[in-house]
Amino acid sequence: MKGFGYLLKFSYRNLFRVPKRTLIMILSLSFGCGFIVWDLNFANSGSKEIMKSFLTQYAGLYHITHPDYYDAKNKKHFNPFKTMSDEDIADKSLITKSTKRAVAPVFVSGEKKTLGVLLTGLEVLKEKQLSTLYKAVTVGRFLEPQNQREIILGKKFAERIEAKVGDEVAIVGQALDGSVANDLYTVVGLLDFGGGDLEESLAFTQFNSAQELLSMPSERYHQRVSFDVEAEELPVLKNLGVSKWDELIPEIGVSVRFIDDITWFACIIIVLVVSMGLSNTLMITFFEREQEFNCLNIIGAKTKWITISLMIEVFIMGTVAILLGLIFGLLATTYFHYHAINLELFTGGKPIIMGGMTIVPLVKIYAQARYFWQVPLMIYAFLSLTMIYPLVRVIRRSQNAI
């Protein structure tokens, strides 16, 4: 133990042989560590804020449906004849943060053209409480809960069928009893998703109007969409299906995971570049001390002892740098927690379009505890690899090595 204490003291004192060089190495590693911690927190929080904005606009975190409503292989396909009711849900607490929807593909006839669209019946008051869909209505108004047979169309879709606010459009589809569903609806608003594809494929009406159109019993519906976006786990419901958003919109889920993976890859590249520069600096430092190592060999110090002392030097320097880096990372993360970042700074002032919807989130960065141990482990791993080549070269060049 005394021997190790002497080694520790010897190694610690050697760090001050060239203080400026040591300071530069510590600062470069600490700033790299701090930036990586901040960047990972930013990427994680950014993804969550973007997805939160996206999911609360329309899609929801997950859908509760009849187990056979969505096709198991492709959840873009669904069976509108498979319905459910609140009686099927054992956990009634799920109802408070979710809303019922009746969904069916229909044809909408305007003045000069008829096109297909996905018509969704909404619980208007609850949608206003839980989702931000009503904010996307830029022309006209959102649905009124006390009214009937009102419809909101996407701006692009309305242009294609030449319909405007105040016009009557004919709706034709298939009712659940096998009959032809048809009725006249009044256009009261136009949705603007920033030019995304969803403007051409969605239309909305009151829930009761959709039920009447589809000849659906009053207690039945197709989906219960949950907006509890903070939920970590999906509920397990007997005799019902639960589908998360990344199953329903897989292309968005893949994009988010890709961005997270790219962030980690970029961080590894940063550590690798810093480590290579550190390796070169260590080699120069060790070669400058070659005469010292030879003298230590001559007076009886074994190569193993010298090697361990050099390793301790590097790890003391690395530990100080990582601690400083974690402090820098925490301070930067805390600052941007209280001063949210507008992502339009990174898009030239243009909004982000995701899944056919415009997203303009302010990213409030939250510190994730796992990054404060994952990043140091990664840096220590690269630091260990960094020392190997300089140490081997020094040992081989020592003419009096024992």
Task: Give 402's pLDDT tier (boundaries 50, 70, 90).
Answer: very low
Task: Give 195's pLDDT tier (boundaries 50, 70, 90).
Answer: low
Looking at the structure, tell me whether residues 195 and 155 fall in a common domain: yes
Looking at the structure, tell me whether residues 371 and 299 fall in a common domain: yes
Task: Please report whether residue 110 resides in a domain.
Answer: yes
Q: Which residue has the higher pLDDT, 307 or 151?
A: 151
Looking at the structure, tell me whether residues 343 and 369 fall in a common domain: yes
Say whether pLDDT at 76 is over 60: yes
Q: Which residue has the higher pLDDT, 310 or 336?
A: 336
Looking at the structure, tell me whether residues 143 and 196 fall in a common domain: yes
Percent of the chain with pLDDT over 90: 27
Task: Please report whether residue 150 resides in a domain.
Answer: yes
Identify the domain boundary among 186, 213, 228: 228
Number of domains in the chain: 2
Task: Please report whether residue 197 resides in a domain.
Answer: yes
Task: Please report whether residue 51 resides in a domain.
Answer: yes
Say whether pLDDT at 354 is over 60: no
pLDDT tens-place string over residues 22-70? 787 778 888 888 888 888 888 888 777 777 777 888 888 899 999 999 9
What is the C-alpha separation between 203 and 109, in angstroms, rounded?
13
Looking at the structure, tell me whether residues 288 and 310 fall in a common domain: yes
Strand 223-226 relative to strand 98-109, pairing: antiparallel
- Containing 36, the helix (H) or strand (E) segment is helix 19-54
Looking at the structure, tell me whether residues 270 and 213 fall in a common domain: no
Identify the domain boundary among 228, 262, 287: 228
Residue 133 Rama label (left phi>0; alpha psi -120 to 50; beta): alpha
Looking at the structure, tell me whether residues 132 and 96 fall in a common domain: yes
Q: Which residue has the higher pLDDT, 190 or 358?
A: 190
Q: Taking Cα atoms as reference points, which of 336, 310, 388 lies closest to residue 34?
A: 336
Task: Please report whether residue 402 resides in a domain.
Answer: no
pLDDT tens-place string over residues 158-172? 988 989 999 999 999
Task: Give 396's pLDDT tier (boundaries 50, 70, 90).
Answer: low
Task: Please report whether residue 188 resides in a domain.
Answer: yes
Q: According to DSSP H, which parts of 241-370 are helical?
A: 245-248, 250-288, 290-298, 303-338
Range of the domain at 109: 62-228
pLDDT of residue 204: 95
DSSP secondary structure, 110-162, as one string: -SS-EEEEEEEEE-HHHHHHH--GGGGEEEE-PPPTT--SEEEEEHHHHHHHT
Identify the domain boundary among 194, 228, 262: 228
What is the C-alpha separation between 224 and 122, in angstroms, rounded?
10
Q: What average pLDDT does the segment 283-300 reach? A: 63
Q: What average pLDDT does the segment 291-297 reach? A: 62
What is the C-alpha separation between 265 and 274, in angstroms, rounded?
14
pLDDT of residue 53: 77
What is the C-alpha separation between 182 and 36, in angstroms, rounded?
58
Task: Please report whether residue 374 resides in a domain.
Answer: yes
- Ranking 12-26, 80-94, 284-298, 337-351 by mean pLDDT, the lowest is 284-298
Task: Please report whether residue 236 resides in a domain.
Answer: no
Strand 202-206 relative to strand 114-122, pairing: parallel
Looking at the structure, tell me whether residues 177 and 325 fall in a common domain: no
Local structure of 323: helix, strand or coil:
helix
Looking at the structure, tell me whether residues 84 and 137 fall in a common domain: yes
Looking at the structure, tell me whether residues 194 and 258 fall in a common domain: no
pLDDT of residue 81: 92
Looking at the structure, tell me whether residues 219 and 284 fall in a common domain: no
Looking at the structure, tell me whether residues 43 and 118 fall in a common domain: no
pLDDT tens-place string over residues 207-257? 999 999 999 998 999 999 999 887 778 888 888 999 988 888 777 767 677
